Amino acid sequence: MITARAQALTTRLLQTRNLTTQSAAAPTPTPTPRRLEGRVAIVTASTDGIGFAIAKRFGDEGASVVVSSRRKENVDRAVAELKSSNSAMRVIGIVCHVAKAEDRKRLVQETLKSYGNIDILVSNAAVNPVFGSMLETDEAAWDKIFEVNVKSAFLLTKEVAPHLKPNRGSVVFVSSIGGFAPFEALGAYSVSKTALFGLTKALSRELGPRGVRVNCIAPGIIKTRFSEALWKNQQIADRSLETVPLGRFGTPEECASTVAFLASDDAAYVTGESIVASGGMQSRL
Ligand SMILES: NC(=O)c1ccc[n+]([C@@H]2O[C@H](COP(=O)([O-])OP(=O)(O)OC[C@H]3O[C@@H](n4cnc5c(N)ncnc54)[C@H](OP(=O)(O)O)[C@@H]3O)[C@@H](O)[C@H]2O)c1
């Protein structure tokens, strides 16, 4: 015979399951505010995925945007897509492989030539050439990961910093939840993302006295080409979702709204911080 206590427990479990089903879709976005009116923003690696969503969100919030990535055809396509999604958007495209010094310099110089100043830098580019045992990662792969994911982020910030205005300038690094809890088979990549938390802290101290803020976002598993290995195969997707309390993968737009908050005056007293957008995945070092 079923007791009242057991019945209450069953009802609660069913309610929880019902809640889980209800939370399996991203909520409808609220109307976009216009917090970035008059700001100029460079977003690296912004022709696809999270970077593209950030560029779109910034443009929709009134910023003048620079999209960039390694391939000119991708840059041209992204600019055309952004303009067709919002004809009032101010957007230009500049080819920039973040690991190339001459590209970083040109990115800054052409932005200044087109828009006259720079207010926001989002350093979003990253690579991951290896998937597997960390101890089998060779030196060349390690160097490439750290060159693109960490060193280039630092060197580009160094290039942009002199142009960022007091009490207005803002830098946002795109790290990863893997920087807190290393992904199995993505060891070196995860360590490079941990380094970005340190870079955020160190640069926020140095730029703070000038009123320039430096923050970081750590996305969880976001459905993009970059993370295909974690969601394309249904069995692997189910296993990945076991680690996500919200029970679904994130969207690039959900990262973009967090980055827009950090870049805007709504976060005027926030610096040196990392915001985790991971649907509840573990986020402590
Ligand atoms: N997706 C996730 O689950 C997830 C989770 C945590 C963190 N992240 C981080 O989010 C960032 C963006 O990832 P994503 O998922 O949006 O990737 P994605 O959809 O694959 O897009 C990658 C973008 O980066 C550009 N790119 C690649 N290498 C570049 C380089 N060396 N210099 C400049 N641009 C470059 C690509 O364009 P070209 O090919 O034209 O260069 C493309 O625009 C990365 O930092 C990644 O580590 C992603």
Please give the DSSP secondary-structure letter assigned to residue 132: B
The pTM of this model reads 0.93
47 lines ligand 1 (CB under 6 A): yes
Q: Is 55 in the pocket of ligand 1 (CB under 6 A)?
A: no
125 CA to middle of ligand 1, Å? 5
φ, ψ dihedrals at 142, nearest 5°: -55, -50
Residue 47 belongs to some domain of the structure? yes
Q: Is the CB of 182 under 6 A from ligand 1?
A: no
Residue 30 has pLDDT above 90, yes or no: no
Least confident of 2-6, 102-106, 176-180, 230-234: 2-6
The per-residue pLDDT for 174 is 99
Kindly indicate the confidence band of residue 25, based on its pLDDT and cuts at 50, 70 and 90: confident
Is 189 considered catalytic here? yes
CA dihedral 3, 4, 9, 14 (to 10 degrees): 100
**Residue of 208, 223, 198, 210 whose CA lies nearest to 274:** 198
Tell me the sheet residues that pair with 171.
121, 214
In angstroms, what CA-CA distances link 172 with 104, 270, 276?
A: 17, 11, 13
Residue range of the domain that includes 107: 33-277
Instruction: Please give the distance, rounded to the nearest whole angstrom, from the Cα atom of residue 27 to the centre of ligand 1.
Output: 24
Residue 6 lies in a domain: no
Q: Is 186 in the pocket of ligand 1 (CB under 6 A)?
A: no
pLDDT digits (tens, 9 = 90+) for 188-210: 999 999 999 999 999 999 999 99
pLDDT for 9 beyond 80: no
pLDDT digits (tens, 9 = 90+) for 211-265: 999 999 999 999 999 999 999 999 999 999 999 999 999 999 999 999 999 999 9
**Nearest ligand 1 atom to alpha carbon 52:** 43
Number of domains comprising the chain: 1
The burial of 203, by beta-carbon neighbours within 10 Å (0-12 exposed, 13-18 middle, 19 or more buried), is given as buried
What's at 117, amino acid-wise?
A: N
Region 52-68: what's the mean pLDDT?
A: 98
CATH number of the domain encompassing residue 111: 3.40.50.720
Residue 26: its pLDDT value, please? 81
Domain contains 152: yes
Strands (E), the chain: 40-43, 64-69, 90-95, 120-123, 170-174, 213-219, 274-277
